[in-house]
Structure 1
Amino acid sequence: MATGADATGPFEAVVLAAGAGSRFGGGKLLAPYMAGVLLDGALAAAFAAPARSVTVVTGAEEEAVARAAIRLADRFGQHDRLRMVHAADYAQGMAHSLRMGVASLPAEAAGAFVFLGDMPRVPREVLQPMADAVRAGALAAAPVFAGRRGNPVLLARSLFPHVLALSGDAGARAVLADLGDRLARVEAPDDGVLYDVDRVEDLPS
C-alpha cells in the first residue's frame, strides 16, 4: 500500500445512509431521535469534521432521507457543503454504498471520513486528531474507546482502490484489517464512537 494523504489536498466526508434498517423494522434513519431524526446525529458530526464536503449516500427511502439531510444542512447553514449520491443497489450491502460514495469524490480529495448514518453520538473531539494523523502519514485513522475500535474512520486516498474492490456488508473493516501500525488509533472521550442503533430498543427511552 502507498503512503498517506497528500498534505495539501482536502478531505471529504461520506455518510452512509442507504440501508433499509430491516432489524429496526424499517425507517430507522428517520426515526425520532432527540429533537430531530436519527440521521441528524451522524450528519451533524460529518459537518463538524475538517472536510470540504459531506456526501450522503442514499438507498432505501431515498427521497425522505435526502429531505432530512437537506433540512439539517439548511438548519446549520451548510447547504453548499452537502452532496447527494444514490446507491440503487443498496441491498447488496454496505460495501456497495461505500463504493458509491468514495467513487463520487473529486479527484483531488486527499481522503475520506466515513460516517455511519445510525451512529448519532460521535464525539467531535476525535475528528481533528484523526485528520492530523493521516496528514502525518497514516493510511487511515479510527477512534478507540475502552480498547475497541469504533467509527467514523478516515481513509487516505491511497486506500480508495481497495475500497472500490469491496463487496458484501463488511464496509471499511476489510480495508483496515491489515494496516497494522499504519492505522492511527485516536482515543475517544466517550463510547459515542461505539454506539449505534440496530433495533428500536437501542434508542434512548
Structure 2
Amino acid sequence: VLDRLIAGLDVTARDIAGMGVGGLLMEIPTRPQPREPLPAKSQLKVGIVLLAAGRSSRMGGPNKLLALFDGKPLVRRTAERALGSKASRTVVVTGHQRERVRAALAGLDVTFADNPDFTDGLSTSLKAGIAYLPEDSAGVMIALGDMPDITSDDLDSLIDAFRKGGGNAVVRASHDGKRGNPVLLPRSLFPAIAHLEGDTGARHLVETEGLDVIDVEIGAAASVDVDTREALEGAGGVLQD
C-alpha cells in the first residue's frame, strides 16, 4: 500500500481487500506460524463437575453419598470413576456435611469447590463447580454423585461424542431412548449457566438455546439413582449414620 501511495496511485478499499486473497504472509518453515492453531477435536478438554452438596432429604437423615457400595463410600466410587475417564479435571462441589464428604475423598486428585449456598438450589452448585474449571475447558460434564452404576467407559463415551461433534453440541446419556445423566455442556452455555437461580439445572437451557443435542446410549446406568432408602438398598448400598 505504501509503495502505491508514494507512486501517486489511488488505493481503494477493493484494492486492499484484493491484497488479502490467499493471505499476505506465506507459511515458511523458518518462521513461526502467525496464528495459533485450533486444538484438534481429539484434544478438546472436558472437565467434570461432580455434584455432592445435597442434603439427601428423601433419605430421612443419612447422607446417601456416604453409603457404602462394596465397602466404599458412594461419592468416592463416583469420583474414582470420573478420575479414570478422559476428563482433564474433576471438580467436586461440596455443601451439606462437607467435611465428611471431603474425608471420604481423601487422597484423590480432585478439586473441591465449596458451595455455602447449597440450600438455595442446584443452580448454585453448578455455578460453584464451573468456576473452578480451567479457561481452556471446551465443555463441562455435570455428573451426579448418587449414580452408582456409571463407569469410566460411560463417561468416555460422552466425551468422545462431544469431541466428535467439535465441542459445540450438548451430549446426554440415555437409556432406551430416554434422556438421563450425566450431561455434557459446551462452553457456549457457561454464560447462561452463570445467570441461573434457585433449584434450576441446565435442562431448560438445552431446550431453549437451539444447540445440537447428541444422545449417547449407555444403558440402565443413565437412569439409576438412589434418591430413596429403598432404591439405595436395592442397588446394593448400605446407609451409614
Q: TM-score, normalised by structure 1?
A: 0.85
- Matching residue's letter, 1:119: M
- 1:135-174 CA deviation, whole Å, 9 max, x = no partner? 2234210111112111111111111112111122232212
Summarize the Cα distance change of 1:145–1:86 in structure 2 as closer, same or farther, 3 Å threshold. Answer: same
Q: Moved runs in structure 1, 4+ residues, more than 6 A?
A: none
> Corresponding residue for 1:120?
148
Q: Which position in structure 2 is the counterpart of 1:103?
A: 131
Partners of 2:121 and 2:198 within 8 A in 1 = yes
Distance 1:28 1:158 in 2: 33
Match of 2:162 in 1: 134
Structure 1 CA distance for aligned equivalents of residues 211 and 217 of structure 2: 15
Which residue number corresponds to residue 193 of structure 1?
222
Q: Does the aligned pair in 1 maintain the 2:46–2:140 contact within 8 Å? A: yes
Q: 1:31 to 1:97 in 2, by over 3 A?
A: same
The higher radius of gyration belongs to: 2
Cα gap change, 1:139 to 1:200, in 2 (>3 Å): same
Distance 2:151 2:68 in 1: 20
Gaps of 5+ in 1: 74-78
> Across the two proteins, how many residue pairs are aligned to each other?
192
> Hey, what does 1:151 align to over in structure 2?
181
User: Counterpart in 2 of 1:69?
Assistant: 105
1:44 aligns with 80
In structure 2, the CA distance between the partners of 1:166 and 1:181, relative to structure 1 (3 Å rule), is closer
Root-mean-square deviation (CA, aligned residues, Å) is 2.0
Q: Which has the higher contact order (CA 8 A, sep 6+)?
A: 1
Kindly state the Cα deviation for residue 9 of structure 1 after the two structures are TM-superposed: 4.0
SS in 1 for 2:198: coil
SS of 1:29's equivalent? helix
| Greater Cα shift, 117-126 or 150-159 | 117-126
- Mark the CA change 1:177 to 1:37 in structure 2 (over 3 Å): closer, same or farther: same
CA shift for structure 1 position 36? 1.1
Task: Identify if the C-alpha distance between structure 1 residues 201 and 56 changes in structure 2 by more than 3 Å, giving closer, same or farther.
Answer: same
Q: Percent identity?
A: 36
Hey, what's the Cα distance between the residues in 2 that align with 1:129 and 1:200? 30
List gaps (5 residues or longer) in structure 2: 1-38, 235-241
The normalised TM-score by structure 2 is 0.73
Q: Give, as a single letter, the amino acid of the residue that structure 1 aligns with 2:178.
A: R
| Structure 1 residues 46-83: Cα deviation after superposition (integer angstroms, max 9, x where no partner) | 11321111100000001110111225x2xxxxx2xx10
